[in-house]
Amino acid sequence: MVLLDPDRMSIPEIVGLARKSEEGGADGFLVGSSLLLSSRFDESIKQIRKNVKLSVIIFPGNANQVSKYADAILFLSLISGRNPHLLIGEQVKAAPMIKEFGLEPIPTGYLIIESGKATSVQFMSDTQPIPKDKPDIAKAHALAAEYLGMKFVFLEAGSGADNPVPDLVVREIRDFISIPIIVGGGIKEPEVAYRKVKCGASFVVIGNALEKDDSIIRQFADAIHTKEKPKAAEKTIKSPYPVNAPSNPEESNH
């Protein structure tokens, strides 16, 4: 999934990236921002929708990010935090609008995982991320999301994060819950995306890396659409990429 942030791109740029992503093998689009400064949100979604066939799903930072032009919306609850506004407050504000617009709500448990320096989503949500070396805490949160009836768990390192969600965290959650996992934040290379899928991610979200270089969309798509199925207890990942070792030394302890 390609993250399109209306704050970081003009409408022609966002439409251009959406078209290239579709041609390059993307599966869909997430549109949103943890802090929306521009007034282009609605028009951006309208234009993306007009120019691509893939689904356009809102990835909202708050209840103001609802648009009738989208196909669906991640109905997020930030369950790794204890900020009542993001656990239930914004959802109550957004729900009637979602109904009125006929958007499909996708109930999703949103977990922020520590990733190096503070990210926008951490700051704006006023919450503590789950420590990256405490997979048990992440597992308990993910299971709670499943038991609350959520359809997905989104493991978020934060846009532009120094480090993505560690492989170990993805794998341990995969082995512990039954609902699909979305992983995003700080995934800069196709081989890193490949590893997240091998560890059990059903969807990988890429934003910054494609804004910087849209010529690697196909490589990301090929890496993510690996035919090999992740094995539940797999401990070694045989990567088809030349660099087999984790590119991030912080991830090398698993």
> Which residues of the shown chain bind ligand 1GP in the complex (CB under 6 A)?
3, 156, 159-161, 184-187, 205-209
Shortest distance in whole angstroms from residue 108 CB to ligand 1GP: 12
The β-bridge partners of 56 are: 29
Compute the distance between CA of residue 173 and CA of residue 72 in angstroms, rounded to an integer.
Answer: 25
Which single residue brings its beta carbon nearest to ligand 1GP? 184
Nearer to ligand 1GP, 1 or 52 (CB): 1
Shortest distance in whole angstroms from residue 208 CB to ligand 1GP: 4
Nearer to ligand 1GP, 106 or 234 (CB): 106
Compute the distance between CA of residue 164 and CA of residue 56 in angstroms, rounded to an integer.
Answer: 24
Q: For residue 76, which phi and psi values (nearest 5 degrees)?
A: -85, 145
Residue with the two structure tokens 């010529």: 215
Q: Is the distance from CB of 127 to CB of 112 less than 8 angstroms?
A: yes
Shortest distance in whole angstroms from residue 207 CB to ligand 1GP: 3
Nearer to ligand 1GP, 150 or 183 (CB): 183
Shortest distance in whole angstroms from residue 37 CB to ligand 1GP: 16
Sheet holding 104-112, edge to edge: 2-4, 29-31, 56-58, 72-78, 104-112, 152-156, 181-184, 203-205
For residue 200, what is the DSSP state? Answer: T
Nearer to ligand 1GP, 219 or 229 (CB): 219
Shortest distance in whole angstroms from residue 8 CB to ligand 1GP: 9
Compute the distance between CA of residue 78 and CA of residue 113 in angstroms, rounded to an integer.
Answer: 11
Nearer to ligand 1GP, 116 or 234 (CB): 116
The β-bridge partners of 2 are: 29, 206
